[in-house]
Amino acid sequence: MSEIPIHIRHCILYEFQLGNNATTAARNICAALGEGAVADQTCRDWFKRFREGDMSLEDRPKSGRPLESDIERLKVLIEDKPRLTTRELSAMLGCNQSTIDRHLHEMGKVNKL
């Protein structure tokens, strides 16, 4: 779903349980917490989820491979063969070259001539 604070999700659930619609809920929450606290579409998404019977306020698990395993594998590859190019690493890990660049930068690895 969306990355909104848990207290706002509680407010959305409260508005849902009061019987308000999503637009009214967004308006009420923004009036109480400040303009732009929650978008109307966000309330609609959460209301849909509540109507389906899912009253959990936690995000649903996201699909795809876990990021941590890719980073650990990248670290191992770099330690074993430090001269690998980002193109070679991206082919080995099955991800974009820009993703490899970003992870290397986050690890403190920089290009040296």
User: CATH no. for residue 73?
Assistant: 1.10.10
CB 84 within 8 A of CB 58: no
Percent of the chain with pLDDT over 90: 51
pLDDT, tens digit (0-9, with 9 covering 90-100), for 76-98: 999 999 889 989 998 888 888 88
Phi, psi values for residue 5, rounded to 5°: -60, 150
- Whether 83 maps to a domain, the answer reads yes
Cα diameter, the chain = 64
Inter-residue contact 28 to 15 (CB < 8 Å):
yes
Residue 44 shares a structural domain with residue 12: yes
What is this structure's pTM? 0.56
Pick the residue with more confidence: 108 or 69?
108
Domain tally, the chain: 2
Residues 42 and 15 in one domain: yes
Poorest-confidence range of 32-41, 43-52, 65-74, 89-98?
65-74
CA–CA separation, 62 vs 64, rounded Å?
A: 7
Q: How far apart are the first and last CA of the chain?
A: 43
Q: How far is CA 79 from the centre of its chain?
A: 29
pLDDT at res. 66: 53
Quote the domain boundaries for residue 91. Answer: 68-107
- Tell me the two tokens of residue 74: 């990248």
Question: How high is the pLDDT of residue 1?
Answer: 45
Residue 42 within a domain: yes
Quote the CA–CA distance of 46 and 26 in Å, as a whole number.
11
